[in-house]
Amino acid sequence: MAILKIARMGHPVLLRQADPVADPGAPEIRRLVADMMETMEDAPGVGLAAPQVFQPLRIFVFRVPGDRTATDPTDSPIGNSVLINPELELIGDDRVLGWEGCLSIPGMRAAVPRARAVRYRGVDCDGNVVTRTVSGFHARVVQHEYDHLDGILYTMRVNDFGLFGFNEELDKAAQGAGR
């Protein structure tokens, strides 16, 4: 396995439509998925899409740690997961703001509006079909990663740039507000 180099915002690979994977069980795809999971854990991050490692393919890996879902009873934690050739359906019209960062935009975060719940479907490297209906942080992570496959970064979803900044400054501001 290997830690992969991550493309940063500004690189064209992050702005293109990714291609479907012809054979999700192919050895090179299995290797890519394993390397993406290792890279995500190393970063550390909760999601990584193939275009972020310079592979314009419709694949992303993600995880939802239990401590991220503790505040939302409808949320569901999940260990390292992969979706290949995913389909995503947003449920309902309500959008909720939540903080997001991206390994391709290091050191920054923003409050991004996302659907509260989504239904998704994809396959893993063994050809198993994965279908889930999820909400909360799980739904947010999947929407963020799915966007990468269509060349969309979270910055393109921000509607209040007063809620976009460097982690260090936002942390300081949040501490200040708490005093």
Binding site for Ni ion (CB under 5 A): 102
* Active-site position among 28, 100, 145, 168: 145
Least Å from the CB of residue 148 to Ni ion:
6
Residues facing 88 on adjacent strands? 120
Distance CA 23, CA 175 (A): 49
* 145 among known catalytic residues: yes
Q: How far is CA 147 from CA 88, 141, 150, in A?
A: 10, 10, 5
The CB-of-101 to Ni ion minimum distance in angstroms stands at 8
Q: How far is the CB of 75 from Ni ion (least distance, A)?
A: 19
Q: What angle do CA 80, 81, 82 make, to 5 degrees?
A: 135
- Of 29 and 61, the one with the shorter C-beta distance to Ni ion is 61
The pair phi, psi for residue 2, each rounded to 5°, is -150, 150
Measured from the CB atom, the residue of 102 and 117 that comes closer to Ni ion is 102
Q: What is the closest distance, in whole angstroms, from the C-beta atom of residue 143 to Ni ion in the complex?
A: 11
CB 127 within 8 A of CB 25: yes
Which residue of this chain has its Cβ atom nearest to Ni ion in the complex?
A: 102
Residue closer to Ni ion by CB (options 102, 125) is 102
Round to whole Å and give the CA distance between 112 and 142. 13
Which residue lies nearer to Ni ion by CB, 40 or 125? 40
Which of the residues are catalytic?
145
